[in-house]
Structure 1
Amino acid sequence: MQILHLDSSILGTASVSRHLSSNIVDRLKALHPDSQVIYRDLALDPALHLSAKHLAAWQGAGSDNAMLTEDLYKGTAYLQELLESHVVVIGTPMYNLTIPTPLKAWIDRISLVGKTFHYTDKGPEGLLKDKQAYIASSRGGVYSSGSPAASLEHQETYLIGLLGFLGISDTKVIRAEGLAINAQVKDAAIAKALEDIAAITG
């Protein structure tokens, strides 16, 4: 089994989402000792955001821009890693009510018609139906269902929707929220998330 492990927090070792995503991967490796892990630190080594030059290159235009060429190869690697993986583990904090921009840049490289989804006469259809995903989510406030700020949550819901659009319907969220309220709430949230990770059986 191949596991694709993505992190996107800018906080390095202080990141809760990185801590949780690492624990999820460790749990999956314990359950599947023959697993291979492909790791991408999207915050440390981000892809460029899409531009007209990217579109021109995809349409066959030549480029002597070394940075663009390197970035195009990176995007191709992103896609191949996803296609070859059985499980995707995404570590993501909430930044300004949504996901970090390096994670969005990764999404823009792997959401490709004819590769990870296609259009039919019945609407779009995802092509990644044999995969599983885990979202290691962290956020300073409380945005889960039923909370006063739930309508502002565009982090987990976006990722779940995007993964479902690509055909990945088996997505589990491991969440630690309220981290900025106080130390007691933070510690309890992390402890609960780690319990949820320990209960993973798949």
Structure 2
Amino acid sequence: MSQLLVLHNSLNPENSASRAMTEAYLAQVRAADPAVRVIERDLAADPLPHLPPAILPAMFGQTVQPGPEAQAAALSDRLIAELEQADVIVLGAPLYNFTIPSTLKAWLDYVVRSGRTFRYTEAGPEGLLPPGKRVLVFTASGGVYSQGPAAALDHLVPYLQAVLGMIGLTQVEVVRAEGMALPEAQQARAQAITQAARLAA
């Protein structure tokens, strides 16, 4: 039985293209394997707190004291455990102001942790997560950022590839629903949803 970790981040779930892509993928996965275990976090509806100062010892591999330090570290430990146990990580990541939503950034801040999910070596950072995990990024944007004059403004895909790679998540696949503010939005949305669903095969 496989296990999925799904993170929703759209502030507009009723009309969200990224969420529609995620739901289409999940529907196909569940149809193929009814026993699949799915952990879902709606980070838009239930956002994580930003990192508190009390978490600093845990982030630097120091001894964590009881109280606020232990509470902050416990949340990080729980989120990392979900990540470690997942075979597939699904990120619903709409493009906000040329980059990821702040809710997703908060999650990343808790799981990118020195000595726990990566370590520094003489050759540079080394990811510590178990190998073989698959990451699916379902992103949507009002304009077109995968190519053309706005491509330089896409700080979502390159950033996610870099930060996920740092902790050992190198199998990153991206499906884009682009041009959601353009006349051909409905066609682009439908194509992206179909593409996302096919990844479950």
Q: TM-score, normalised by structure 1?
A: 0.87
Q: How well do the aligned residues superpose, as a CA RMSD in angstroms? A: 2.1
- Change in 2 beyond 3 A, CA 1:27/1:112: same
Gaps of 5+ in 2: none
Q: Which residue of 2 aligns with 1:188?
A: 187
Runs of 4+ in 1 over 6 A off after TM superposition: none
Distance 1:199 1:40 in 2: 23
Distance 1:91 1:201 in 2: 15
1:23-172 alignment runs, 5 A limit: 23-55=24-56, 59-63=63-67, 69=71, 72-128=73-129, 129-144=131-146, 146-172=147-173
Distance 1:29 1:3 in 2: 11
For these two proteins, the number of residue pairs brought into alignment is 196
Give the deviation of 1:28 after TM superposition: 2.6
Give the deviation of 1:64 after TM superposition: 6.2
Q: 1:5·1:25 contact (CA, 8 Å) conserved in 2?
A: no
Q: 2:139·2:176 contact (CA, 8 Å) conserved in 1?
A: yes
Q: TM-score, normalised by structure 2?
A: 0.88
Gaps of 5+ in 1: none
Distance 2:57 2:86 in 1: 29
- Change in 2 beyond 3 A, CA 1:45/1:72: farther
Between 123-132 and 55-64, report the one with greater CA deviation. Answer: 55-64
Partner of 1:74, secondary structure, is helix
Q: 1:25·1:89 contact (CA, 8 Å) conserved in 2?
A: no
Distance 1:96 1:14 in 2: 18
Distance 1:75 1:195 in 2: 34
Between 46-55 and 91-100, report the one with greater CA deviation. Answer: 46-55
Q: Which residue of 1 aligns with 2:3?
A: 2
**Are 1:199 and 2:201 an aligned pair?**
no
